[in-house]
Structure 1
Amino acid sequence: MTADRAFLIRCVGGIIHDSNGRLLLVRRANPPGEGRWSIPGGRVEPGEDDRTALTREVLEETGLSVTVGRFVGSVTRPAAHSLYDIHDYACQVRSGVLRAGDDATDARWVTTAILATLPLSEGLLEALRGWGQLPWA
């Protein structure tokens, strides 16, 4: 299937830094990327806009309520018979206690040193670097 004829699945991701500059990552419990670390996020459901979907996904995966901020960038990743069209946004934590939830086996704040040791989702490091969103701690 060529990219121009592929079915696009709209997804969102939250780029969330804490006050110390650490980046929030989750370890994926399911394909795609099962066992790999990524930013929290997921599919936009019918009737949702990006902000609503991202608020829901971050809460489900991390237990944190967030305010969705500016659009940071987008990537396209292969899916079984389609493409994931992922739009990532900067977010700020409003409340909650960090815990791994739906679709995540772990959730943690990571520094640059820890990020370098984790098995990451394909293309995550390059995207974050290109957008200037790596941890600054």
Structure 2
Amino acid sequence: MESSREYPNFPIPGVGAVVLREVEGRTEVLLIRRGSEPMAGGWSLPGGAIELGETVSEACVRETLEETGLMVQPLAEVEIIDIIYRDAMGRVQYHYVVVDILCRVVGGQLLSGTDASDVAWADVRQVSELGDFALTPRACTVIRKALIMNEDLK
């Protein structure tokens, strides 16, 4: 049984990549500006739907490469979360179950592609629910959790 991404028959499994790097004593996180719904025009973590026959790690690597031009190595699962958007009538318009993965860059060149209209490295101190890189509260929480995990992996 096939399901549409908009008004799906069941939740769609997806991945999010929390890609961190150290630059001149500060930590940066990789962000994309979404080119399509949900959240078109907003900043978020790279990611997308898992394809049939693909592992979570494989999807994370593929989606990050497609959206940012960067090849990543998945390191650890950060969190699993439901992302549910309802329309004005309360119907489920989008429902994703997303596995967020802490990653590091292993190659490639930064450029926006596929579903991303822009891509940027953002100082984690600038990432919040307000400002230039306004993110959802969920994304901010995931990034904070990934920062702690990243310290433990050093």
What TM-score does the superposition give when structure 1 sets the normalisation length?
0.84
- In the alignment, structure 2 segments of 5+ residues that lack a partner are 1-8, 86-91
Q: How many residues align?
A: 130
- 1:51 counterpart residue number: 57
Residue 126, structure 1, aligned to residue 141, structure 2? yes
Sequence identity, in percent?
Answer: 33
Q: Residues 63-98 of structure 1: CA distance to partner in whole angstroms, max 9, x if unpaired?
A: 001111111111101154452100011111111111
The structure that is strand-richer by fraction is 2
Q: 2:104 aligns with which of 72, 92, 95?
A: 92
Normalising by structure 2, what TM-score? 0.76
Partner of 1:3: none
Q: Of the two structures, which has the highest relative contact order with CA contacts closer than 8 Å and spacing of 6 or more?
A: 1
Task: Find the counterpart in structure 1 of residue 22 from structure 2.
Answer: 19
Distance 1:39 1:95 in 2: 18
Given the alignment of the two structures, is residue 38 of structure 1 paired with residue 53 of structure 2, yes or no?
no
For 2:134, what is the secondary structure of its paired residue?
A: coil
Deviation at 1:119, TM superposition (A): 2.6
Change (3 A) 1:52 1:132: closer
Alpha-carbon shift at residue 132 of structure 1 (Å): 4.7
Contact 2:33 2:119 in 1 (8 A): yes
Q: Which amino acid aligns with 2:16?
A: G
Equivalent residue letter for 1:8 = P
| Distance (Å, rounded) in 2 between the aligned partners of 1:101 and 1:82 | 22
Q: Unmatched 5+ residue regions in structure 1? A: 1-5
* 2:69 is aligned with 1:63: yes
User: For the residues of structure 1 that align with 2:126 and 2:14, how far apart are their CA atoms?
Assistant: 26
Distance in 2 (CA, whole Å) between partners of 1:82 and 1:31 is: 9
- Cα distance in structure 1, aligned partners of 2:30 and 2:94: 28
**Separation of aligned partners in 1, 2:105 and 2:32:** 15
Query: Which one has a bigger Cα radius of gyration?
Result: 2
Question: What is the RMSD of the two structures over their aligned residues, measured on CA atoms?
Answer: 2.2
